[in-house]
């Protein structure tokens, strides 16, 4: 009897491929192991065995696997199940998922490039002859292809040797190496304990009389401490006292001053939590109890807790419970919210038990994390971005999706185009883990599920420490312009509040959601911006042909030099970037430190961390930034948040624009007044009567939810209708048109009026390729899986048409 194995290859293939297994190997082979298999004429790939059986494939002759690469499975049965679900729900290849799920270093193939591992000492004695040969070659050449190693050893298959070399720290697979982020340490200075007493201090000053420079330093430190409660950095003291570093050193050596280092704001000792002890307050206790009640029946639970209500502390308690049962925890966060802030907060409690899985910086390399999770050797708690749902958990007890409303949980490109929040619902089902979705502003979909009792709902309506939620005020910019009370982009109200806040030694955050310049024409007198007559969007200014265009239906008119509504000639292109605001700020507040956080300033590997750290350490007084600022940051000294213009958010042409504006504004407002004092938020806008802004002011999530839900129902959007987007893409304009029209016709035969388009997207050409979209709306009474089957059927015919070969078809399920 012959033995066969179905292998998932790391390629976008529609099916698994079947290979034959040699008799002597069958005993060693298990599901979830890596095997080296031939594919095509010359290539060798690493694949994962998914099924072992005795049935020969019918339409081709199975080739033999070349080698078994593992002694035990590296992919669990749970993962295989999960992958299968993902591939069928998101209509993508299992191979796409395999590539997303396994660290690149696991998937050696003939084209992979390796290099010498220079990070560790190599134990040459421990190498076999073959391994030593490769080691020598690596020393002479900086990088080598696996193929070349094959030639070198005169062997066809060297993947196993390579793997050994990687395991023995000799070779590394060339890919970005993740470096550890080390937060910057700041040197601070204070008066030595001894001189806190009046008498001793008096004496000290007398003795210092003979050393005027030293005396001046001590007196300056005194006046600084009197002015502000902030810690005084050595840098600041040198600047203010005009003393040299040497004099300060003398004072430190004498024991008059004490130096100390801070990595972040840990100065507020009252806030410092005892290790392993969470003291939940009454509200938190109750929420915690309710969550557990839901968990008893394995119900997915939504924790709706306003900003700064102390959700994180509840997570910590839940995590503690789960790991004490020996189970694993997955804590999912949007990539950008994975800051050292949160990580160190968790490490404070769980120390070594925390593993970080993150694309930008990772305390451990991805392979290591993968192995630790698989073998449960280290780190029961994985905190990571969306791709950490692919880790090989063995005994998952709890999944937390924090900031669960965040859109970055959805992967747009490449396939698999999955949503980590939705996928984690399935993962929790397969693993029997509990799932908690947390947010101050849940997505409409999640809240809808909670309202319909699909999810449990737990609410936290008070901030921790009973600090009042920030006071939100709208500033009517139209009015301000009329009364000439604007200075650049700043209203007198905002400037006034900023001055007060800064004079109290507090910090200010300014939020502006656009980098660069947004090209929407707007009248300074009446605020009107030209709208498309066919669609509910503002026309966009196109400079190159001096026109105003609709990105949805193609409508366009010539650029207007006069306002259509009031005939005023005071029209400007609205939208101003963070950069412009920074420039204005510098002249308005020349004596304050100003920082800017947007994609441009955070490009470097740790750019983001650096700005956050500087702001935490109060080296920056005013921080201006884009929506990056909204991601769950916990700053203690911010009393004022200013939103420069809410209008651009609201006018964004997307069915979720209003919901998202609400999320963003509430989240950014939540950065104000997180401790002790009530914070203030000022939102500048042309439309102070806009319902969303009203709802932000009164923090009326429920009202927003009801209103937006009604709109979704009226216009046939989720959560009522489901969406699938098909994108056609090619260099050849006509081919895109033909292919998409053909497909739309095919779909319409079965799906009728629920097929919309094909239509060009707002940006119809990217990198010289044309795009055209079809949207399928699935009515609530239709079966989602039947619809998908029908799409697949049309695709099959489509794939057989030769002239469509040059057009790429991308399927996106839940494309939002």
Is residue 316 within 8 A of residue 349, CB to CB? The reply is: yes
Element (H, E) at 321: helix 311-324
What is the footprint of ligand ADP within residues 526-565 (CB under 6 A)? none
Nearer to ligand ADP among residue 308 and residue 637 (C-beta): 308
Q: Smallest distance from the beta carbon of 763 to Zn ion, in angstroms?
A: 15
β strands within 257-395, DSSP E? 257-262, 301-305, 328-332, 354-357, 381-384
- Rule CB under 6 A: say whether 305 interacts with ligand ADP: yes
Q: Is 403 left (phi over 0), alpha (psi -120 to 50) or beta?
A: left
Nearer to Zn ion among residue 338 and residue 563 (C-beta): 563
Tell me how far apart the alpha carbons of residues 17 and 49 are, in angstroms, rounded to a whole number.
Answer: 10
Tell me how far apart the alpha carbons of residues 535 and 552 are, in angstroms, rounded to a whole number.
Answer: 7
Task: Annotate 665-714 with DSSP letters as a single string.
Answer: HHHHHTTS--SSSPPEEEEEES-TT-HHHHHHHTT-HHHHHHHHHHHHHH
Instruction: Tell me the site size for ligand ADP, rule CB under 6 A.
Output: 17
Q: Kindly report the number of other CB atoms within 10 A of residue 553's CB atom.
A: 13
Q: Of the listed pieces 121-129, 159-167, 311-319, 780-788, which binds ligand ADP according to CB under 6 A?
A: 311-319
What is the footprint of ligand ADP within residues 60-119 (CB under 6 A)? none
What is the footprint of ligand ADP within residues 258-287 (CB under 6 A)? 271, 273, 279-281, 284
Tell which residue, 340, 402, 256, has the closest CA to residue 606: 340
- Cα dihedral 339, 341, 343, 344 in deg (nearest 10): 150
Q: Which position among 552, 589, 721, 798 is part of the footprint of Zn ion (CB under 5 A)?
A: 552
Task: Annotate 163-177 with DSSP letters as a single string.
Answer: HHHHHTTSEEESSPP
Nearer to ligand ADP among residue 10 and residue 310 (C-beta): 310
Nearer to ligand ADP among residue 4 and residue 511 (C-beta): 511
- Rule CB under 5 A: say whether 557 interacts with Zn ion: no
Q: Which position among 399, 427, 550, 612 is part of the footprint of Zn ion (CB under 5 A)?
A: 550
Q: Smallest distance from the beta carbon of 550 to Zn ion, in angstroms?
A: 3
- Rule CB under 6 A: say whether 309 interacts with ligand ADP: yes
Q: Which position among 143, 289, 553, 766 is part of the footprint of Zn ion (CB under 5 A)?
A: 553
- Rule CB under 5 A: say whether 565 interacts with Zn ion: yes
Q: Smallest distance from the beta carbon of 715 to Zn ion, in angstroms?
A: 15
Q: What share of the chain is helix, strand, coil (3-state, %, to 5)?
A: 40, 20, 40
Q: Smallest distance from the beta carbon of 524 to Zn ion, in angstroms?
A: 8
Nearer to ligand ADP among residue 159 and residue 287 (C-beta): 287
Q: In angstroms, what CA-CA distances link 333 with 178, 346, 798?
A: 19, 13, 39
Tell me how far apart the alpha carbons of residues 548 and 536 are, in angstroms, rounded to a whole number.
Answer: 14
Tell which residue, 649, 664, 587, has the closest CA to residue 622: 587
Nearer to ligand ADP among residue 135 and residue 635 (C-beta): 635
Taking CB within 5 to 8 Å according to partner kind, which of ligand ADP, Zn ion, none is near residue 812? none
Q: Which position among 46, 214, 312, 428 is part of the footprint of ligand ADP (CB under 6 A)?
A: 312
Task: Give strand pairing partners of 777.
Answer: 723
Taking CB within 5 to 8 Å according to partner kind, which of ligand ADP, Zn ion, none is near residue 649? none
Is residue 412 within 8 A of residue 670, CB to CB? The reply is: no
The answer, yes or no, to whether the previous bond of 719 is cis (omega within 30 of 0) is: yes
Secondary structure letter of residue 359 according to DSSP: S
Nearer to Zn ion among residue 56 and residue 565 (C-beta): 565
User: How would you write 469-512 as a 3-class SS string?
Assistant: CCEEEEEEHHHHHHCCCEECCEEHHHHHHHHHHHHCCCEEEEEC
- The most distant pair of C-alpha atoms in the chain lies apart, rounded to whole Å, by 100
Taking CB within 5 to 8 Å according to partner kind, which of ligand ADP, Zn ion, none is near residue 534? Zn ion
List all residues 6 or more positions away from 282 whose beta carbon is below 8 Å from its beta carbon. none
Q: Of the listed pieces 210-218, 302-310, 475-483, 525-533, which binds ligand ADP according to CB under 6 A?
A: 302-310
Q: Which position among 568, 583, 713, 734 is part of the footprint of Zn ion (CB under 5 A)?
A: 568
Q: Kindly report the number of other CB atoms within 10 A of residue 205's CB atom.
A: 14
What is the footprint of ligand ADP within residues 445-474 (CB under 6 A)? 464
Q: What are phi and psi of 420, to 5 degrees?
A: -65, -30
Nearer to Zn ion among residue 22 and residue 542 (C-beta): 542
Site string for ligand ADP, 654-693 (x = CB under 6 A): --------------------x-------------------
Taking CB within 5 to 8 Å according to partner kind, which of Zn ion, ligand ADP, none is near residue 523? Zn ion
Taking CB within 5 to 8 Å according to partner kind, which of Zn ion, ligand ADP, none is near residue 223? none
Nearer to ligand ADP among residue 305 and residue 625 (C-beta): 305
Q: Smallest distance from the beta carbon of 335 to ligand ADP, in angstroms?
A: 18
- Rule CB under 6 A: say whether 307 interacts with ligand ADP: yes
Tell me how far apart the alpha carbons of residues 342 and 320 are, in angstroms, rounded to a whole number.
Answer: 16
Nearer to Zn ion among residue 247 and residue 535 (C-beta): 535
Tell me how far apart the alpha carbons of residues 287 and 310 are, in angstroms, rounded to a whole number.
Answer: 11
Instruction: Tell me the site size for Zn ion, rule CB under 5 A.
Output: 15
Taking CB within 5 to 8 Å according to partner kind, which of Zn ion, ligand ADP, none is near residue 142? none
What is the footprint of Zn ion within residues 508-537 (CB under 5 A)? 523, 525-526, 528, 532, 534-535
Is residue 406 within 8 A of residue 372, CB to CB? The reply is: no
Taking CB within 5 to 8 Å according to partner kind, which of Zn ion, ligand ADP, none is near residue 281? ligand ADP
Q: Smallest distance from the beta carbon of 710 to Zn ion, in angstroms?
A: 23
Helix (H, G, I), strand (E, B) or coil at 324: helix
Q: Of the listed pieces 64-72, 258-266, 394-402, 558-566, which binds Zn ion according to CB under 5 A?
A: 558-566
Tell me how far apart the alpha carbons of residues 623 and 629 are, in angstroms, rounded to a whole number.
Answer: 9
Q: Smallest distance from the beta carbon of 571 to ligand ADP, in angstroms?
A: 41
Q: Kindly report the number of other CB atoms within 10 A of residue 545's CB atom.
A: 9
Q: Smallest distance from the beta carbon of 542 to Zn ion, in angstroms?
A: 14
What is the footprint of ligand ADP within residues 601-640 (CB under 6 A)? 634
- Rule CB under 6 A: say whether 577 interacts with ligand ADP: no
Q: Smallest distance from the beta carbon of 666 to ligand ADP, in angstroms?
A: 11
Interacting residues with ligand ADP (CB under 6 A): 271, 273, 279-281, 284, 305, 307-313, 464, 634, 674
Interacting residues with Zn ion (CB under 5 A): 523, 525-526, 528, 532, 534-535, 550, 552-553, 555, 563, 565-566, 568
């Amino acid at each position: 009897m012959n033995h066969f194995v179905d292998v998932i290859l790391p390629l976008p293939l529609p099916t698994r491929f079947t290979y034959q297994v040699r008799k002597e190997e069958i005993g060693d082979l298990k599901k979830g192991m890596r095997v080296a298999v031939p594919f095509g004429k010359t290539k060798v790939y690493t694949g994962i065995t998914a099924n072992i059986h005795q049935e020969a494939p019918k339409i081709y002759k199975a080739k033999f696997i070349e080698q078994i690469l593992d002694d035990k499975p590296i992919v669990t049965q749970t993962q295989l199940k999960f992958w299968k679900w993902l591939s069928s729900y998101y209509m993508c290849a299992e191979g796409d998922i395999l590539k997303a799920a396994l660290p690149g270093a696991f998937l050696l193939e003939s084209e992979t490039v390796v290099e010498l591992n220079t990070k560790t000492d190599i134990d040459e004695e421990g190498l076999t002859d073959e391994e030593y040969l490769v080691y020598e070659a690596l020393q002479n050449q900086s990088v080598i292809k696996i193929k070349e190693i094959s030639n070198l050893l005169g062997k066809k298959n060297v993947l196993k040797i390579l793997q050994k070399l990687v395991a023995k720290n000799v070779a590394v697979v060339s890919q970005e190496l993740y470096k550890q982020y080390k937060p910057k340490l700041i040197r601070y200075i204070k008066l030595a304990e001894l001189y806190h007493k009046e008498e001793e201090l008096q004496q000290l000053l007398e003795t210092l009389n003979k050393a005027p420079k030293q005396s001046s330093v001590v007196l300056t430190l005194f006046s600084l401490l009197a002015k502000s409660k902030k810690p005084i950095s050595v840098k600041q003291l040198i600047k203010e006292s005009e003393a040299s570093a040497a004099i300060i050193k003398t004072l430190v050596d004498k024991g008059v001053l004490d130096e100390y280092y801070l990595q972040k704001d840990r100065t507020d000792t009252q806030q410092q939590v005892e290790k392993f002890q969470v003291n939940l307050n009454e509200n938190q206790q109750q929420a915690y109890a309710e969550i557990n009640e839901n968990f008893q029946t394995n119900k997915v639970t939504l924790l709706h807790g306003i900003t700064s209500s102390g959700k994180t502390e509840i997570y910590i308690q839940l995590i503690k419970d789960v790991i004490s049962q020996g189970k694993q925890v997955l804590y999912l966060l949007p990539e950008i919210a994975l800051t050292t802030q949160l990580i160190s907060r968790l490490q404070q409690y769980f120390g070594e038990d925390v593993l970080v899985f993150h694309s930008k910086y990772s305390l451990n390399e991805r392979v290591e994390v993968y192995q630790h999770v698989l073998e449960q050797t280290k780190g029961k708690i994985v905190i990571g971005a969306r791709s950490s749902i692919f880790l090989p958990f063995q005994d998952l007890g709890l999944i937390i999706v924090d900031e669960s409303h965040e859109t970055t949980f959805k992967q747009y490109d490449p396939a698999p185009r999955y949503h980590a929040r939705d996928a984690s619902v399935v993962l929790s089902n397969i693993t029997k883990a509990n799932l908690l979705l947390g947010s101050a502003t849940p997505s409409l979909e999640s809240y809808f599920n909670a309202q319909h009792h699909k999810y449990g709902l737990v609410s936290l309506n008070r901030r921790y420490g009973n600090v009042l939620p920030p006071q939100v005020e709208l500033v009517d910019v139209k009015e301000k312009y009329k009364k000439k009370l604007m200075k650049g982009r700043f209203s007198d109200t905002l400037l006034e509040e900023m001055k007060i806040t800064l004079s109290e030694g507090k910090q200010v955050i300014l939020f502006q959601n656009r980098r660069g310049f947004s090209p929407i024409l707007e009248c300074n007198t009446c605020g009107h911006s030209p709208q498309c007559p066919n669609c509910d969007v503002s026309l966009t200014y196109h400079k190159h042909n001096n026109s105003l265009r609709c990105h949805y239906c193609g409508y366009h008119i010539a650029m207007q030099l006069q306002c259509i509504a009031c005939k005023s000639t005071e029209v400007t292109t609205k939208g101003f970037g963070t950069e412009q605001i920074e420039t204005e700020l510098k002249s308005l507040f020349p004596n304050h430190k100003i920082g800017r956080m947007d994609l441009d300033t955070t490009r470097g590997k740790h750019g983001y961390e650096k700005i956050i750290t500087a702001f935490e350490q109060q080296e920056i007084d005013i921080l201006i930034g884009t929506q990056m600022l909204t991601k769950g940051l916990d700053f203690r000294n911010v009393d004022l948040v200013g939103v420069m213009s809410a209008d651009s958010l609201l006018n964004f042409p997307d069915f979720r624009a209003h919901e998202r504006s609400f999320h963003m504004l509430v989240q950014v407002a939540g950065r104000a007044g997180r401790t002790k004092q009530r914070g203030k938020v000022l939102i500048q806008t042309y439309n102070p009567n806009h319902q969303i802004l009203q709802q932000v002011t009164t923090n009326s999530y429920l009202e927003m939810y009801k209103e937006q839900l009604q709109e979704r129902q009226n216009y046939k959007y989720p959560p009522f209708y489901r969406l699938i987007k098909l994108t056609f893409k090619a260099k050849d304009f006509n081919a895109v048109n033909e292919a998409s029209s053909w497909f739309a016709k095919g779909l319409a035969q079965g799906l009728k009026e629920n097929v919309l388009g094909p239509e060009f997207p707002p940006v119809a050409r990217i990198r010289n390729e044309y795009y055209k979209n079809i949207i399928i709306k699935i009515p609530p009474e239709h079966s989602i899986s039947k619809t998908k089957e029908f799409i697949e059927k049309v695709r099959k015919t489509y794939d057989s048409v030769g002239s469509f070969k040059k057009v790429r078809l991308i399927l996106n399920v839940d494309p939002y």
